[in-house]
Amino acid sequence: LPEIRLANGPSRCQGRVEIFYNGSWGTVCDDDWDIVDANVVCRQLGCGHAITLPAAMTFGQGSGPIFLDNVDCKGWEAALSECWSHGWGIHNCYHYEDVAVICNELSPTQASEGPTSRTLTSSVQDGESDGSIRLVSGTDTCQGRVEIFYRGNWGTVCDDDWGLSDASVVCKQVGCGQALDYKSNAYFGYGTGHILLDNVNCDGSEPFLAACYSLGWGIHNCGHHEDAGVICTGLDRSTITSFTTSVALDYEETLTATATAVTDGRDQLSLATEVVTTGLLTIEQESGGVRLANGNGSCRGRVEVRHRGTWGTVCDDDWDFPDAQVVCRQLGCGAALAATVLSSFGYGSGPILLDNVGCGGGEARLADCFHLGWGQHNCGHHEDAGVICRAAGRARGTQGWGGHGLPPGLPHPIPFPGSLRLVNGSHRCEGRVEMFYLSQWGTVCDDAWDLRDAKVVCRQLGCGHAVAAWGEARYGQGTGYIFLDNLKCKGHEPSLLRCSHIRWDVHNCDHSEDAGAVCGIL
């Protein structure tokens, strides 16, 4: 196996990652690098597990060849060279992208050791011991986001591989009876702090969650949009009886309600059970309502829909202008101005109820449009969809034509959200990159800006291939919001908005860092 080392750090277990190949030492590029990759490095060196991914340049730039790029370890590999990558020496990087890791050298492991299950330790603080569980943000103490205690802090559990057997161990540990359901994609809202467990795999017999297999404390490749949750029966000794009934609604959609009741050992269901059933069916008939949340007016905001008595959000996969038109009309808010994506009106909470919505634009209600089915999605709340409606009776954007609206025959002046333009260049395919979002034009910060990002811009504008990616406001400083920062496009994305980036309202830039692009004219 190729030799590996951590260079320029204070100890052999932290530093810039360097790998020996074909007679020389070289570095590894940070594209797609995550904690799972770092953990393989630490284990290969006998340095325990990775505890953090240090910022670029923490241990300086390397020199010589860049040997690996787009490394994608699964976590079980004995050496970094066994992980997938583009191949030795194939990359599109510079040495300022050299990766580094910091390992937990205080707990060295054998280099051949793979991921292990973790068990409780005797560490106790303020009455809580490592591995203690609590359920947070549910409607009662027996449902909620799963949080686990470790080394003095509460943290969350990632939903990778999360299932009913894992939930059953949690419910048993907290004294809440059986597991009714397991939840993913931050169903009970985003947690904070460390994500302490990932790829949990219980067989159901374990006495506590920390005894189940996992990648190990703090080892994960997740965000809080993947926080796991559970719903427990809430009772330890009662018999749980479930039964199902269906109701056909007048808009030709059949919904199924499951009522859960507690019996006292007799075969007859109690009057309380019948009341629960009736209540469920009544709530179900209220499905399909729409509201807008977190906007600065009643006709703009995050789209929320009601189903089975619960409000939830809509995922932005395939979310576009016809979908926004239906929402605005359903709310009596006039014409749609924009369909927003990537939680531009903040992160919602609760379930994500609709995904891959496909309206024609003429439907009476959002629920009448095509979608994957209530609650079926592969999203997180960072993808919550929104709309901006004109609001009935308050037309805007017509000034400049004498107050009489637009001349007949001119197209609508408002670009589609996510539209791009290049400004101050010598032709339309060169200039400062500007994006239309939240009803206005803004710029893109040059942090991590490179030719792959420019490639997406050029293709989106129909401008051929990317020739150059410029930073430091080469085409002058823009104005307004800086919408995107730390862009990490792979180059194949259909639009700049679909590249990995920091949320539009979180950045550390000013307009002296506005990004620019030069495309080859078709």
Domain chopping of the chain, boundaries: 3-103, 132-232, 289-389, 419-520
Are 115 and 77 spatial neighbours (Cβ–Cβ below 8 Å)? no
Averaged pLDDT for residues 426-432: 87
Cβ proximity of 421 and 488 under 8 Å:
no
CB atoms within 10 A of CB 334: 16
80-84, 247-251, 371-375, 426-430: segment of lowest average pLDDT: 247-251
Write phi, then psi, for 182 (nearest 5 degrees): -115, 145
What is the pLDDT, as a whole number, of residue 3?
87
Confidence of residue 349 (pLDDT cuts 50, 70, 90): confident
Report the range of poorest mean pLDDT among 304-318, 392-406, 412-426, 485-499: 392-406
| Bridge partner list, 519 | 466
The answer to whether 120 and 133 have CB atoms below 8 angstroms apart is no
Closest CA to 40 of 67, 79, 5, 14: 79
CATH topology assigned to domain 3-103: Mac-2 Binding Protein (3.10.250)
pLDDT reported for residue 235: 57
Burial of 401 (0-12, 13-18, 19+ CB in 10 A): exposed
User: Domain 132-232 has what CATH class?
Assistant: alpha beta
Residue 55 has pLDDT above 80, yes or no: no
Kind plus residue range of the DSSP H or E element containing 322: helix 321-330
pLDDT at 251 > cutoff 60: no
Q: Would you place residue 297 in the very low, low, confident or very high pLDDT band (cuts 50, 70, 90)?
A: low
Quick one: what percent of the chain has pLDDT higher than 70?
A: 78
Token reading at 112: 């051949």
Give every CB contact of residue 35 below 8 A, 6+ residues apart in sequence: 50, 53, 219, 220, 221
CATH-assigned architecture of domain 419-520: Roll (3.10)
Range with the poorest average pLDDT among 123-132, 308-317, 347-356, 411-420 = 123-132
Same fold, 132-232 and 419-520: yes
- In CATH, the architecture of 289-389 is Roll (3.10)
State the pLDDT at residue 372. 84
Average pLDDT over residues 495-521: 78
Average pLDDT over residues 446-450: 84
pTM for the full predicted model: 0.30
- Lowest-confidence range among 194-208, 250-264, 323-337? 250-264
pLDDT bucket at 341, cuts 50 / 70 / 90: confident
Question: pLDDT at residue 152 above 90?
Answer: no
What percentage of residues in the chain have a pLDDT greater than 90?
A: 17
How does residue 1 score in pLDDT terms, banded at 50, 70 and 90? Answer: low
- Which are the contacts of 453, defined by CB distance < 8 A and separation ≥ 6? 469, 487, 488, 489, 496, 499, 515, 517
- What integer pLDDT is reported at residue 244 of this predicted model? 29
Q: Band the pLDDT of 385: cuts 50, 70, 90.
A: very high
